[in-house]
Amino acid sequence: MRVLGIDPGYGRCGMAIVERGPGGKDILIYSDCVETSAQSEFTERLGTVATECGRLIEKFTPDEMAIEKLFFSGNQKTAMRVAEVRGALIQSATSYGIKVAEYTPAQIKNAAGGWGGADKQQVITMLRMLVTIDKKIKYDDEYDAIAVGVTHLAFVGSRTTTR
């Protein structure tokens, strides 16, 4: 199974393609962050993120997409903007006929970090053990996207798709 994992954002949006490899070890096929300029209009930023999602779907043909659910306790304006990004990304995936799964931060930390209270460094350490990563990861948002993909692979368990 090949999954497009997404850590939604509009300043920086983490995207990763993760695949279940032989022997059950997950393999990172691709990861990066879509970065947009704070000087650009929000609609332009939203379009950039959604367009990149569509490009990755066309290039890597994931079987499913997994995206982090929103959890904000602070800035409501930021939460609304990230919600809009999530909507655009979900629409992009469903327009290609791709099923979308959503996971809470606690579910992601549990699946990728070993427990629901894991901190960022614990998740990164576990990801390095769980996933074959043959590149330097520049931003935490990339790790977050990989973690979302790994979470989905853990939740679907033995259900696999032959490529």
Which position among 7, 52, 142, 144 bears the catalytic label?
Answer: 7
Which position among 26, 63, 64, 141 bears the catalytic label?
Answer: 141
- Whether 46 and 85 have beta carbons less than 8 Å apart is answered as yes
Which position among 26, 32, 52, 68 bears the catalytic label?
Answer: 68
- Give the integer Cα–Cα distance in Å for 23 and 134: 18
- Residue 141 annotated as catalytic: yes
At 24, list the tokens: 């059950």
- Whether 75 and 11 have beta carbons less than 8 Å apart is answered as no
Positions marked catalytic: 7, 68, 141
